[in-house]
Chains A and B, each alone.
Chain A
Amino acid sequence: MTATNLIDAERRSFNRWALAPSLVILFVIAALPALYLLAASLTPFQLVNPGSSTDFSEPLRNYRLLPGDPRFINSLIVQAKLSFWGVLFQVLLGMLLALLLHTRSRFVALARTFFLIPMVLPPIVVGVIWKLIYTPDISPIYYVAGLLHVTMPSLTSSVNFALTAIIIADTWEWLPFTFLMVLAALQTIPEEYSEAALMDGAGRVQIFFHITLPFIAPILTVSAMFRLIDSVKAFPLIFLLTGGGPGSVTEVTNYYAYLLAFDFNEIGYSSAITIVMLMLVVVMSLGIMWMGRNREALT
Protein backbone atom coordinates (compact mmCIF):
# COMPACT_ATOMS: atom_id res chain seq x y z
CA MET A 1 0.00 0.00 0.00
CA THR A 2 2.75 2.41 0.78
CA ALA A 3 4.14 1.75 -2.69
CA THR A 4 0.94 2.86 -4.41
CA ASN A 5 0.67 5.83 -2.09
CA LEU A 6 4.17 6.88 -3.07
CA ILE A 7 3.35 6.47 -6.72
CA ASP A 8 0.20 8.51 -6.30
CA ALA A 9 2.10 11.22 -4.52
CA GLU A 10 4.74 11.18 -7.21
CA ARG A 11 2.09 11.43 -9.86
CA ARG A 12 0.38 14.30 -8.14
CA SER A 13 3.63 16.18 -7.86
CA PHE A 14 4.43 15.49 -11.48
CA ASN A 15 0.99 16.67 -12.49
CA ARG A 16 1.43 19.90 -10.64
CA TRP A 17 4.77 20.61 -12.32
CA ALA A 18 3.45 19.60 -15.70
CA LEU A 19 0.37 21.72 -15.46
CA ALA A 20 1.69 24.78 -13.66
CA PRO A 21 3.37 26.62 -16.55
CA SER A 22 0.42 26.00 -18.84
CA LEU A 23 -2.07 27.12 -16.24
CA VAL A 24 -0.11 30.27 -15.60
CA ILE A 25 0.11 31.06 -19.29
CA LEU A 26 -3.57 30.31 -19.82
CA PHE A 27 -4.53 32.51 -16.95
CA VAL A 28 -2.38 35.32 -18.22
CA ILE A 29 -3.69 35.23 -21.75
CA ALA A 30 -7.27 34.32 -21.07
CA ALA A 31 -8.19 35.89 -17.78
CA LEU A 32 -6.04 38.99 -17.56
CA PRO A 33 -6.98 40.45 -20.94
CA ALA A 34 -10.65 39.79 -20.23
CA LEU A 35 -10.34 41.59 -16.91
CA TYR A 36 -8.48 44.44 -18.54
CA LEU A 37 -11.08 44.74 -21.26
CA LEU A 38 -13.82 44.83 -18.67
CA ALA A 39 -12.06 47.58 -16.77
CA ALA A 40 -11.35 49.56 -19.92
CA SER A 41 -14.94 49.26 -21.04
CA LEU A 42 -15.97 51.15 -17.92
CA THR A 43 -13.89 54.17 -18.86
CA PRO A 44 -13.98 56.65 -21.72
CA PHE A 45 -10.38 55.69 -22.46
CA GLN A 46 -8.95 57.32 -25.53
CA LEU A 47 -5.26 57.09 -26.32
CA VAL A 48 -4.91 60.83 -26.79
CA ASN A 49 -6.33 61.57 -23.33
CA PRO A 50 -4.02 59.73 -20.96
CA GLY A 51 -6.13 60.65 -17.97
CA SER A 52 -9.16 58.93 -19.42
CA SER A 53 -7.81 55.44 -18.80
CA THR A 54 -8.58 55.68 -15.10
CA ASP A 55 -11.71 57.74 -15.30
CA PHE A 56 -14.34 55.55 -13.68
CA SER A 57 -16.74 58.37 -12.97
CA GLU A 58 -19.35 57.12 -15.42
CA PRO A 59 -18.77 53.36 -15.64
CA LEU A 60 -21.78 52.39 -17.71
CA ARG A 61 -21.44 55.21 -20.21
CA ASN A 62 -20.19 53.03 -23.05
CA TYR A 63 -22.83 50.40 -22.52
CA ARG A 64 -25.51 53.04 -22.41
CA LEU A 65 -24.30 54.50 -25.69
CA LEU A 66 -24.31 51.13 -27.48
CA PRO A 67 -28.04 50.71 -28.14
CA GLY A 68 -28.20 54.25 -29.46
CA ASP A 69 -25.28 53.81 -31.84
CA PRO A 70 -26.78 53.02 -35.25
CA ARG A 71 -23.41 51.87 -36.56
CA PHE A 72 -23.18 49.27 -33.79
CA ILE A 73 -26.70 48.03 -34.37
CA ASN A 74 -25.98 47.88 -38.07
CA SER A 75 -22.84 45.86 -37.40
CA LEU A 76 -24.85 43.29 -35.45
CA ILE A 77 -27.32 42.98 -38.31
CA VAL A 78 -24.54 42.61 -40.86
CA GLN A 79 -22.88 40.00 -38.66
CA ALA A 80 -26.15 38.10 -38.33
CA LYS A 81 -26.65 38.09 -42.09
CA LEU A 82 -23.09 37.03 -42.79
CA SER A 83 -23.21 34.27 -40.17
CA PHE A 84 -26.61 32.96 -41.16
CA TRP A 85 -26.07 32.75 -44.89
CA GLY A 86 -22.44 31.74 -44.61
CA VAL A 87 -23.13 28.89 -42.24
CA LEU A 88 -26.17 27.77 -44.18
CA PHE A 89 -24.31 27.47 -47.45
CA GLN A 90 -21.23 25.97 -45.87
CA VAL A 91 -23.26 23.24 -44.20
CA LEU A 92 -25.44 22.58 -47.23
CA LEU A 93 -22.69 22.56 -49.83
CA GLY A 94 -20.29 20.75 -47.52
CA MET A 95 -22.85 18.05 -47.05
CA LEU A 96 -23.50 17.72 -50.77
CA LEU A 97 -19.78 17.53 -51.44
CA ALA A 98 -19.35 14.85 -48.78
CA LEU A 99 -22.16 12.81 -50.26
CA LEU A 100 -20.53 13.08 -53.65
CA LEU A 101 -17.19 11.88 -52.35
CA HIS A 102 -18.53 9.17 -50.12
CA THR A 103 -17.16 6.25 -52.13
CA ARG A 104 -14.23 3.94 -52.05
CA SER A 105 -11.64 4.77 -54.63
CA ARG A 106 -8.03 5.79 -54.61
CA PHE A 107 -8.76 8.57 -57.01
CA VAL A 108 -11.42 9.91 -54.70
CA ALA A 109 -9.16 9.58 -51.68
CA LEU A 110 -6.58 11.68 -53.50
CA ALA A 111 -9.14 14.20 -54.66
CA ARG A 112 -10.33 14.53 -51.09
CA THR A 113 -6.97 15.98 -50.17
CA PHE A 114 -7.15 18.71 -52.76
CA PHE A 115 -10.57 19.76 -51.63
CA LEU A 116 -8.99 20.90 -48.39
CA ILE A 117 -6.90 23.60 -49.97
CA PRO A 118 -9.20 26.60 -49.43
CA MET A 119 -9.39 25.88 -45.73
CA VAL A 120 -5.67 25.68 -45.05
CA LEU A 121 -4.66 28.73 -47.01
CA PRO A 122 -3.77 31.76 -44.92
CA PRO A 123 -7.02 33.72 -44.66
CA ILE A 124 -5.34 36.79 -46.03
CA VAL A 125 -4.31 34.90 -49.15
CA VAL A 126 -7.92 33.88 -49.58
CA GLY A 127 -8.63 37.60 -49.43
CA VAL A 128 -6.04 38.27 -52.14
CA ILE A 129 -7.49 35.53 -54.34
CA TRP A 130 -10.97 36.95 -54.14
CA LYS A 131 -9.76 40.50 -54.53
CA LEU A 132 -8.32 39.43 -57.87
CA ILE A 133 -11.61 37.85 -58.82
CA TYR A 134 -13.66 40.84 -57.82
CA THR A 135 -11.52 43.48 -59.55
CA PRO A 136 -13.19 44.26 -62.88
CA ASP A 137 -9.98 45.08 -64.74
CA ILE A 138 -8.37 41.70 -64.33
CA SER A 139 -11.11 39.30 -63.43
CA PRO A 140 -12.13 36.52 -65.80
CA ILE A 141 -15.66 36.72 -64.47
CA TYR A 142 -16.06 40.27 -65.64
CA TYR A 143 -14.53 39.37 -68.94
CA VAL A 144 -17.03 36.59 -69.46
CA ALA A 145 -19.86 38.86 -68.39
CA GLY A 146 -18.66 41.39 -70.93
CA LEU A 147 -18.69 38.75 -73.64
CA LEU A 148 -22.24 37.91 -72.77
CA HIS A 149 -23.12 41.60 -72.89
CA VAL A 150 -24.03 41.59 -69.22
CA THR A 151 -22.85 44.66 -67.34
CA MET A 152 -21.85 43.41 -63.97
CA PRO A 153 -21.41 46.10 -61.35
CA SER A 154 -18.26 46.08 -59.27
CA LEU A 155 -19.49 43.67 -56.63
CA THR A 156 -17.44 44.94 -53.75
CA SER A 157 -18.58 48.51 -54.24
CA SER A 158 -22.21 47.65 -54.78
CA VAL A 159 -24.60 47.98 -51.90
CA ASN A 160 -26.63 45.01 -52.94
CA PHE A 161 -23.83 42.63 -53.68
CA ALA A 162 -20.95 43.50 -51.40
CA LEU A 163 -22.10 41.29 -48.56
CA THR A 164 -22.95 38.51 -50.98
CA ALA A 165 -19.45 38.78 -52.39
CA ILE A 166 -18.04 38.31 -48.91
CA ILE A 167 -20.36 35.40 -48.21
CA ILE A 168 -19.27 33.68 -51.41
CA ALA A 169 -15.60 34.08 -50.52
CA ASP A 170 -16.22 32.95 -46.96
CA THR A 171 -18.17 29.90 -48.07
CA TRP A 172 -15.42 28.96 -50.52
CA GLU A 173 -12.88 29.18 -47.74
CA TRP A 174 -14.69 27.06 -45.16
CA LEU A 175 -16.57 24.55 -47.27
CA PRO A 176 -13.83 21.96 -46.71
CA PHE A 177 -14.49 22.10 -42.97
CA THR A 178 -18.06 20.90 -43.04
CA PHE A 179 -17.13 18.62 -45.91
CA LEU A 180 -14.59 16.83 -43.73
CA MET A 181 -16.86 16.62 -40.74
CA VAL A 182 -19.82 15.21 -42.67
CA LEU A 183 -17.60 12.80 -44.57
CA ALA A 184 -16.27 11.43 -41.30
CA ALA A 185 -19.80 11.01 -40.03
CA LEU A 186 -20.95 9.34 -43.23
CA GLN A 187 -18.23 6.78 -42.80
CA THR A 188 -19.66 5.74 -39.44
CA ILE A 189 -23.03 4.80 -40.86
CA PRO A 190 -23.35 1.01 -40.81
CA GLU A 191 -23.73 -0.15 -44.36
CA GLU A 192 -26.23 -2.82 -43.47
CA TYR A 193 -28.91 -0.19 -42.92
CA SER A 194 -28.84 1.20 -46.42
CA GLU A 195 -28.30 -2.21 -47.97
CA ALA A 196 -31.34 -3.56 -46.19
CA ALA A 197 -33.38 -0.56 -47.23
CA LEU A 198 -32.26 -0.94 -50.84
CA MET A 199 -33.30 -4.57 -50.84
CA ASP A 200 -36.66 -3.54 -49.51
CA GLY A 201 -37.08 -1.38 -52.57
CA ALA A 202 -36.42 2.04 -51.03
CA GLY A 203 -35.35 4.78 -53.42
CA ARG A 204 -32.12 6.72 -52.95
CA VAL A 205 -33.83 9.89 -51.87
CA GLN A 206 -35.79 7.98 -49.26
CA ILE A 207 -32.61 6.40 -47.96
CA PHE A 208 -31.03 9.80 -47.69
CA PHE A 209 -33.83 11.36 -45.75
CA HIS A 210 -34.64 8.41 -43.51
CA ILE A 211 -31.25 6.89 -42.83
CA THR A 212 -28.39 9.18 -43.79
CA LEU A 213 -29.77 12.47 -42.60
CA PRO A 214 -30.69 11.38 -39.08
CA PHE A 215 -27.21 9.93 -38.71
CA ILE A 216 -25.39 13.03 -39.74
CA ALA A 217 -27.77 15.53 -38.19
CA PRO A 218 -25.71 15.87 -35.00
CA ILE A 219 -22.56 16.51 -37.03
CA LEU A 220 -24.35 19.05 -39.15
CA THR A 221 -25.40 20.84 -36.00
CA VAL A 222 -21.95 20.78 -34.48
CA SER A 223 -20.35 21.99 -37.71
CA ALA A 224 -22.88 24.77 -37.88
CA MET A 225 -22.13 25.77 -34.31
CA PHE A 226 -18.39 25.85 -34.87
CA ARG A 227 -18.72 27.83 -38.05
CA LEU A 228 -21.11 30.16 -36.33
CA ILE A 229 -18.65 30.96 -33.60
CA ASP A 230 -15.82 31.31 -36.07
CA SER A 231 -17.85 33.66 -38.25
CA VAL A 232 -17.81 36.25 -35.47
CA LYS A 233 -14.09 36.55 -36.04
CA ALA A 234 -14.49 37.53 -39.69
CA PHE A 235 -11.75 40.00 -40.50
CA PRO A 236 -9.24 39.40 -43.29
CA LEU A 237 -11.83 39.14 -46.06
CA ILE A 238 -13.57 42.31 -45.03
CA PHE A 239 -10.29 44.11 -44.44
CA LEU A 240 -9.04 43.37 -47.94
CA LEU A 241 -12.18 43.29 -50.03
CA THR A 242 -14.43 46.04 -48.79
CA GLY A 243 -13.06 47.78 -45.73
CA GLY A 244 -16.53 47.53 -44.24
CA GLY A 245 -18.09 49.31 -47.17
CA PRO A 246 -19.67 50.53 -49.28
CA GLY A 247 -21.03 52.65 -46.52
CA SER A 248 -21.29 50.16 -43.68
CA VAL A 249 -22.87 47.36 -45.61
CA THR A 250 -20.16 44.86 -44.79
CA GLU A 251 -19.06 46.27 -41.48
CA VAL A 252 -19.38 43.47 -38.97
CA THR A 253 -19.07 44.04 -35.25
CA ASN A 254 -15.53 42.72 -35.11
CA TYR A 255 -14.45 45.14 -37.84
CA TYR A 256 -16.20 48.09 -36.23
CA ALA A 257 -14.49 47.35 -32.94
CA TYR A 258 -11.16 47.19 -34.79
CA LEU A 259 -11.73 50.59 -36.41
CA LEU A 260 -12.71 52.12 -33.10
CA ALA A 261 -9.66 50.79 -31.30
CA PHE A 262 -6.94 51.17 -33.88
CA ASP A 263 -8.04 53.99 -36.16
CA PHE A 264 -9.94 56.21 -33.77
CA ASN A 265 -8.15 55.06 -30.64
CA GLU A 266 -11.38 54.94 -28.64
CA ILE A 267 -10.18 52.10 -26.50
CA GLY A 268 -12.92 52.32 -23.89
CA TYR A 269 -15.82 52.16 -26.30
CA SER A 270 -14.16 49.47 -28.39
CA SER A 271 -13.63 47.38 -25.26
CA ALA A 272 -17.31 47.59 -24.43
CA ILE A 273 -18.20 46.26 -27.87
CA THR A 274 -15.59 43.52 -27.52
CA ILE A 275 -17.06 42.46 -24.17
CA VAL A 276 -20.44 42.12 -25.81
CA MET A 277 -18.89 39.93 -28.51
CA LEU A 278 -17.11 37.84 -25.87
CA MET A 279 -20.40 37.23 -24.07
CA LEU A 280 -21.83 35.95 -27.32
CA VAL A 281 -18.87 33.64 -27.84
CA VAL A 282 -19.06 32.33 -24.29
CA VAL A 283 -22.74 31.50 -24.67
CA MET A 284 -22.12 29.73 -27.95
CA SER A 285 -19.13 27.84 -26.56
CA LEU A 286 -21.24 26.66 -23.64
CA GLY A 287 -23.70 25.43 -26.22
CA ILE A 288 -20.98 23.42 -27.92
CA MET A 289 -19.76 21.87 -24.69
CA TRP A 290 -23.27 20.90 -23.76
CA MET A 291 -23.82 19.33 -27.13
CA GLY A 292 -20.47 17.59 -26.94
CA ARG A 293 -21.42 16.01 -23.68
CA ASN A 294 -24.82 14.89 -24.82
CA ARG A 295 -24.03 13.47 -28.21
CA GLU A 296 -22.49 10.04 -28.32
CA ALA A 297 -22.07 10.23 -32.06
CA LEU A 298 -19.14 12.53 -31.47
CA THR A 299 -16.92 10.22 -29.46
Chain B
Amino acid sequence: MSAHSSRSAGAGRRAAIAVVLVVLLSPFLWLLQMSFKSNDLILQFPPPLIFTPTLENYTSLWHGAFSASFINSLLSASFSTGFALLFGIPAAYALSRWTGSGRQALGFAILVTRMAPPIAFTIPFFLFYRWIGLLDTITGLVLVYTSFNLPLVIWMMQPFFETVPRSLEEAALVDGAGIRTVFVEIVLPMVTPGIAATAILCFLYAWNDFFFALILTRTNARTAPVAVVNFMNYEGWEWGKIAAGGSLVMAPVLIFSLAVRRYLVSGLTAGAVKG
Protein backbone atom coordinates (compact mmCIF):
# COMPACT_ATOMS: atom_id res chain seq x y z
CA MET B 1 0.00 0.00 0.00
CA SER B 2 1.40 3.37 -0.83
CA ALA B 3 0.56 6.85 -1.92
CA HIS B 4 3.00 6.66 -4.77
CA SER B 5 0.54 7.54 -7.47
CA SER B 6 3.14 8.78 -9.87
CA ARG B 7 4.80 5.42 -10.12
CA SER B 8 3.18 3.42 -12.83
CA ALA B 9 1.90 0.02 -11.92
CA GLY B 10 4.45 -2.71 -11.73
CA ALA B 11 3.75 -6.16 -13.06
CA GLY B 12 3.25 -7.50 -9.57
CA ARG B 13 0.64 -4.94 -8.73
CA ARG B 14 -1.14 -5.50 -12.02
CA ALA B 15 -1.22 -9.22 -11.40
CA ALA B 16 -2.60 -8.65 -7.93
CA ILE B 17 -5.30 -6.39 -9.33
CA ALA B 18 -6.26 -8.95 -11.94
CA VAL B 19 -6.56 -11.70 -9.35
CA VAL B 20 -8.58 -9.56 -7.00
CA LEU B 21 -10.83 -8.56 -9.87
CA VAL B 22 -11.55 -12.12 -10.89
CA VAL B 23 -12.15 -13.22 -7.32
CA LEU B 24 -14.42 -10.28 -6.62
CA LEU B 25 -16.40 -10.72 -9.79
CA SER B 26 -16.64 -14.49 -9.56
CA PRO B 27 -20.17 -14.56 -8.08
CA PHE B 28 -21.34 -12.41 -10.97
CA LEU B 29 -19.50 -14.56 -13.50
CA TRP B 30 -20.98 -17.66 -11.91
CA LEU B 31 -24.47 -16.37 -12.57
CA LEU B 32 -23.60 -15.57 -16.16
CA GLN B 33 -22.15 -18.96 -16.93
CA MET B 34 -25.06 -20.73 -15.28
CA SER B 35 -27.51 -18.97 -17.55
CA PHE B 36 -25.96 -20.70 -20.54
CA LYS B 37 -26.17 -24.18 -19.08
CA SER B 38 -29.02 -26.63 -19.29
CA ASN B 39 -30.45 -27.81 -16.01
CA ASP B 40 -28.70 -31.16 -16.01
CA LEU B 41 -25.33 -29.53 -16.43
CA ILE B 42 -26.06 -27.20 -13.58
CA LEU B 43 -26.64 -30.00 -11.13
CA GLN B 44 -23.50 -31.75 -12.27
CA PHE B 45 -20.49 -31.69 -10.05
CA PRO B 46 -17.66 -31.01 -10.61
CA PRO B 47 -19.09 -28.11 -12.59
CA PRO B 48 -17.85 -28.40 -16.13
CA LEU B 49 -16.13 -25.18 -17.00
CA ILE B 50 -15.95 -26.13 -20.64
CA PHE B 51 -19.34 -26.94 -22.02
CA THR B 52 -21.51 -26.25 -25.01
CA PRO B 53 -23.49 -23.17 -24.15
CA THR B 54 -27.17 -23.11 -24.88
CA LEU B 55 -29.54 -20.23 -25.36
CA GLU B 56 -32.61 -22.22 -24.42
CA ASN B 57 -32.97 -20.58 -21.02
CA TYR B 58 -33.06 -17.17 -22.58
CA THR B 59 -35.42 -18.09 -25.39
CA SER B 60 -37.94 -19.84 -23.18
CA LEU B 61 -37.92 -16.90 -20.78
CA TRP B 62 -38.45 -14.50 -23.59
CA HIS B 63 -41.42 -16.41 -24.92
CA GLY B 64 -42.99 -16.54 -21.51
CA ALA B 65 -44.34 -13.61 -19.56
CA PHE B 66 -40.87 -12.27 -18.99
CA SER B 67 -40.75 -10.15 -22.11
CA ALA B 68 -43.85 -8.27 -21.00
CA SER B 69 -42.21 -7.41 -17.69
CA PHE B 70 -39.12 -6.25 -19.54
CA ILE B 71 -41.22 -3.87 -21.56
CA ASN B 72 -42.94 -2.62 -18.42
CA SER B 73 -39.57 -1.88 -16.88
CA LEU B 74 -38.45 -0.10 -20.02
CA LEU B 75 -41.56 2.04 -20.21
CA SER B 76 -41.71 3.01 -16.57
CA ALA B 77 -37.99 3.77 -16.36
CA SER B 78 -37.90 5.80 -19.58
CA PHE B 79 -40.99 7.90 -18.96
CA SER B 80 -40.13 8.65 -15.37
CA THR B 81 -36.64 9.69 -16.42
CA GLY B 82 -38.12 12.01 -19.03
CA PHE B 83 -40.50 13.66 -16.60
CA ALA B 84 -37.93 13.93 -13.86
CA LEU B 85 -35.59 15.71 -16.24
CA LEU B 86 -38.38 17.92 -17.51
CA PHE B 87 -39.24 19.23 -14.07
CA GLY B 88 -35.92 18.84 -12.37
CA ILE B 89 -33.57 20.60 -14.74
CA PRO B 90 -35.27 24.01 -14.61
CA ALA B 91 -35.66 23.62 -10.88
CA ALA B 92 -31.97 22.84 -10.47
CA TYR B 93 -31.10 25.86 -12.53
CA ALA B 94 -33.37 28.10 -10.50
CA LEU B 95 -31.89 26.77 -7.29
CA SER B 96 -28.33 27.28 -8.46
CA ARG B 97 -29.08 30.94 -9.10
CA TRP B 98 -31.06 31.43 -5.95
CA THR B 99 -29.53 33.38 -3.17
CA GLY B 100 -32.44 33.30 -0.83
CA SER B 101 -32.94 31.41 2.36
CA GLY B 102 -34.82 28.15 2.48
CA ARG B 103 -32.29 26.58 0.20
CA GLN B 104 -30.89 24.53 3.04
CA ALA B 105 -34.33 23.32 3.99
CA LEU B 106 -35.00 22.25 0.44
CA GLY B 107 -31.66 20.50 0.26
CA PHE B 108 -32.47 18.68 3.44
CA ALA B 109 -35.86 17.59 2.19
CA ILE B 110 -34.22 16.25 -0.93
CA LEU B 111 -31.66 14.32 1.05
CA VAL B 112 -34.27 12.76 3.29
CA THR B 113 -36.40 11.58 0.38
CA ARG B 114 -33.38 9.83 -1.06
CA MET B 115 -32.38 8.31 2.24
CA ALA B 116 -35.67 7.23 3.75
CA PRO B 117 -36.60 3.56 3.51
CA PRO B 118 -39.11 2.94 0.72
CA ILE B 119 -41.63 1.46 3.10
CA ALA B 120 -42.20 4.92 4.51
CA PHE B 121 -43.79 5.82 1.21
CA THR B 122 -45.27 2.56 0.03
CA ILE B 123 -48.01 2.33 2.62
CA PRO B 124 -49.52 5.72 1.81
CA PHE B 125 -48.88 5.24 -1.90
CA PHE B 126 -50.52 1.82 -1.87
CA LEU B 127 -53.63 3.03 -0.14
CA PHE B 128 -53.83 6.13 -2.29
CA TYR B 129 -53.35 4.22 -5.52
CA ARG B 130 -56.01 1.72 -4.46
CA TRP B 131 -58.38 4.57 -3.93
CA ILE B 132 -57.84 6.22 -7.30
CA GLY B 133 -57.26 3.00 -9.24
CA LEU B 134 -53.61 3.40 -10.15
CA LEU B 135 -52.51 0.07 -8.74
CA ASP B 136 -50.90 -2.28 -11.22
CA THR B 137 -50.56 0.38 -13.90
CA ILE B 138 -47.54 1.76 -15.70
CA THR B 139 -48.83 5.26 -14.98
CA GLY B 140 -48.70 4.55 -11.29
CA LEU B 141 -45.12 3.38 -11.52
CA VAL B 142 -44.09 6.33 -13.65
CA LEU B 143 -45.54 8.70 -11.06
CA VAL B 144 -43.65 7.05 -8.24
CA TYR B 145 -40.36 6.85 -10.10
CA THR B 146 -40.65 10.43 -11.33
CA SER B 147 -41.26 11.60 -7.79
CA PHE B 148 -38.18 9.88 -6.51
CA ASN B 149 -35.92 10.75 -9.37
CA LEU B 150 -36.81 14.41 -9.20
CA PRO B 151 -34.71 15.09 -6.09
CA LEU B 152 -31.88 13.18 -7.72
CA VAL B 153 -32.03 15.35 -10.83
CA ILE B 154 -32.11 18.55 -8.82
CA TRP B 155 -29.26 17.47 -6.63
CA MET B 156 -27.08 16.28 -9.46
CA MET B 157 -27.68 19.11 -11.91
CA GLN B 158 -27.12 21.89 -9.42
CA PRO B 159 -23.32 21.59 -9.34
CA PHE B 160 -23.28 21.50 -13.14
CA PHE B 161 -25.24 24.71 -13.37
CA GLU B 162 -22.93 26.25 -10.85
CA THR B 163 -20.04 25.77 -13.23
CA VAL B 164 -21.74 27.91 -15.86
CA PRO B 165 -20.34 31.40 -15.36
CA ARG B 166 -22.99 33.92 -14.50
CA SER B 167 -21.19 36.56 -16.50
CA LEU B 168 -22.22 34.79 -19.69
CA GLU B 169 -25.85 34.97 -18.73
CA GLU B 170 -25.66 38.52 -17.49
CA ALA B 171 -24.12 39.60 -20.76
CA ALA B 172 -26.85 38.00 -22.80
CA LEU B 173 -29.59 39.31 -20.52
CA VAL B 174 -28.29 42.82 -20.64
CA ASP B 175 -28.26 42.52 -24.40
CA GLY B 176 -32.01 42.05 -24.20
CA ALA B 177 -32.37 38.28 -24.46
CA GLY B 178 -35.26 36.80 -22.45
CA ILE B 179 -34.28 34.58 -19.60
CA ARG B 180 -35.95 31.58 -21.15
CA THR B 181 -33.84 31.98 -24.28
CA VAL B 182 -30.72 32.34 -22.17
CA PHE B 183 -31.57 29.16 -20.36
CA VAL B 184 -32.35 27.06 -23.39
CA GLU B 185 -29.75 28.36 -25.80
CA ILE B 186 -26.81 29.25 -23.63
CA VAL B 187 -26.93 27.42 -20.33
CA LEU B 188 -28.37 24.04 -21.30
CA PRO B 189 -25.87 23.21 -24.03
CA MET B 190 -23.11 23.74 -21.53
CA VAL B 191 -24.42 21.11 -19.16
CA THR B 192 -25.31 18.35 -21.61
CA PRO B 193 -22.77 15.90 -20.13
CA GLY B 194 -24.46 16.41 -16.80
CA ILE B 195 -27.88 15.85 -18.30
CA ALA B 196 -26.74 12.68 -19.97
CA ALA B 197 -25.25 11.31 -16.77
CA THR B 198 -28.28 12.29 -14.73
CA ALA B 199 -30.61 10.73 -17.24
CA ILE B 200 -28.80 7.45 -17.07
CA LEU B 201 -28.72 7.48 -13.29
CA CYS B 202 -32.46 8.11 -13.17
CA PHE B 203 -33.02 5.24 -15.57
CA LEU B 204 -30.81 3.04 -13.45
CA TYR B 205 -32.68 3.78 -10.24
CA ALA B 206 -36.08 3.24 -11.78
CA TRP B 207 -35.01 0.04 -13.50
CA ASN B 208 -33.41 -1.41 -10.37
CA ASP B 209 -36.35 -0.68 -8.11
CA PHE B 210 -37.83 -3.70 -6.48
CA PHE B 211 -39.82 -2.64 -3.46
CA PHE B 212 -42.24 -0.22 -5.08
CA ALA B 213 -42.83 -2.54 -7.98
CA LEU B 214 -43.47 -5.43 -5.62
CA ILE B 215 -46.14 -3.60 -3.67
CA LEU B 216 -47.71 -1.40 -6.32
CA THR B 217 -48.04 -3.87 -9.17
CA ARG B 218 -49.60 -7.25 -9.64
CA THR B 219 -49.46 -8.80 -13.06
CA ASN B 220 -50.23 -6.17 -15.67
CA ALA B 221 -47.52 -3.72 -14.79
CA ARG B 222 -45.10 -6.20 -13.29
CA THR B 223 -41.52 -5.13 -13.89
CA ALA B 224 -38.51 -7.29 -14.65
CA PRO B 225 -37.00 -7.47 -11.14
CA VAL B 226 -40.30 -8.64 -9.68
CA ALA B 227 -40.82 -11.07 -12.54
CA VAL B 228 -37.51 -12.74 -11.74
CA VAL B 229 -38.53 -13.26 -8.14
CA ASN B 230 -41.97 -14.46 -9.08
CA PHE B 231 -40.39 -16.88 -11.45
CA MET B 232 -38.14 -18.22 -8.74
CA ASN B 233 -41.02 -19.67 -6.80
CA TYR B 234 -42.82 -21.45 -9.57
CA GLU B 235 -43.04 -25.17 -9.27
CA GLY B 236 -39.75 -26.53 -10.44
CA TRP B 237 -36.58 -24.75 -9.49
CA GLU B 238 -35.19 -24.11 -12.92
CA TRP B 239 -31.87 -22.62 -12.02
CA GLY B 240 -30.88 -22.06 -15.62
CA LYS B 241 -33.87 -19.87 -16.22
CA ILE B 242 -33.43 -18.07 -12.94
CA ALA B 243 -29.85 -17.28 -13.89
CA ALA B 244 -30.94 -16.18 -17.34
CA GLY B 245 -33.63 -13.98 -15.85
CA GLY B 246 -31.16 -12.34 -13.52
CA SER B 247 -28.73 -11.78 -16.38
CA LEU B 248 -31.38 -10.23 -18.56
CA VAL B 249 -32.52 -7.88 -15.84
CA MET B 250 -29.05 -6.61 -15.20
CA ALA B 251 -27.96 -6.24 -18.80
CA PRO B 252 -29.32 -2.75 -19.53
CA VAL B 253 -28.10 -1.20 -16.32
CA LEU B 254 -24.66 -2.74 -16.70
CA ILE B 255 -24.22 -1.24 -20.12
CA PHE B 256 -25.55 2.17 -19.19
CA SER B 257 -23.89 2.61 -15.86
CA LEU B 258 -20.47 1.63 -17.06
CA ALA B 259 -20.94 4.49 -19.50
CA VAL B 260 -21.45 7.00 -16.71
CA ARG B 261 -19.13 5.65 -14.08
CA ARG B 262 -17.67 9.08 -13.52
CA TYR B 263 -20.87 10.32 -12.01
CA LEU B 264 -21.93 7.26 -10.09
CA VAL B 265 -20.61 8.29 -6.72
CA SER B 266 -22.11 11.73 -7.04
CA GLY B 267 -25.44 10.23 -7.88
CA LEU B 268 -25.35 7.67 -5.12
CA THR B 269 -24.49 10.18 -2.44
CA ALA B 270 -27.21 12.49 -3.70
CA GLY B 271 -24.44 14.73 -4.85
CA ALA B 272 -23.39 15.69 -1.35
CA VAL B 273 -19.97 14.52 -2.35
CA LYS B 274 -18.51 15.11 -5.78
CA GLY B 275 -17.45 11.93 -7.56
B140-195 with Cβ < 8 A to chain A = 146-148, 150-151, 154, 173-174, 178-180, 183
Q: Judging by beta carbons under 8 Å apart, are A15 and B94 in contact?
A: yes
A141-191 with Cβ < 8 A to chain B = 143, 172, 175, 177, 180-181, 184, 186-187, 189, 191
B50 within 8 A of A: no
Known: A22-B88, A277-B117. A117 touches B253 (CB 8 A): no
Residue of A128, A172, A177 touching B24 (CB-CB under 8 A): A172
Neighbouring B residues of A240 by C-beta, 8 Å: 229, 232
The range of chain B's interface size is 35 or more
Neighbouring A residues of B47 by C-beta, 8 Å: 140, 143
Residue of A17, A101, A121 touching B250 (CB-CB under 8 A): A121
Cα A140 to Cα B111 with chains together (Å):
41
Residue of A111, A177, A235 touching B211 (CB-CB under 8 A): A235
Cα A267 to Cα B213 with chains together (Å):
19
Residue of A103, A189, A195 touching B9 (CB-CB under 8 A): A103
Cα A122 to Cα B226 with chains together (Å):
11
Q: Judging by beta carbons under 8 Å apart, are A132 and B21 in contact?
A: no
Known: A102-B3, A184-B265. A11 touches B111 (CB 8 A): no
Q: Judging by beta carbons under 8 Å apart, are A125 and B228 in contact?
A: yes
A-B CB pair tally, cutoff 8 Å: 297
- 18 A-B pairs with CB atoms under 8 Å apart are A7-B179, A10-B173, A10-B178, A22-B87, A30-B112, A33-B124, A102-B2, A104-B5, A104-B9, A113-B258, A120-B204, A124-B210, A212-B3, A222-B269, A254-B119, A274-B123, A277-B119, A285-B115
- A-side interface residues toward B, CB under 8 Å? 3, 7, 10-11, 14-15, 17-19, 21-23, 25-26, 28-34, 36-37, 40, 96-97, 99-105, 107-108, 111-125, 128-133, 137-138, 140, 143, 172, 175, 177, 180-181, 184, 186-187, 189, 191, 193-195, 198, 204-205, 207-208, 211-212, 219, 222, 226, 229-230, 232-233, 235-236, 239-240, 254, 257-258, 261-262, 267, 270-271, 274, 277-278, 281-282, 284-286, 288-289, 292, 298-299
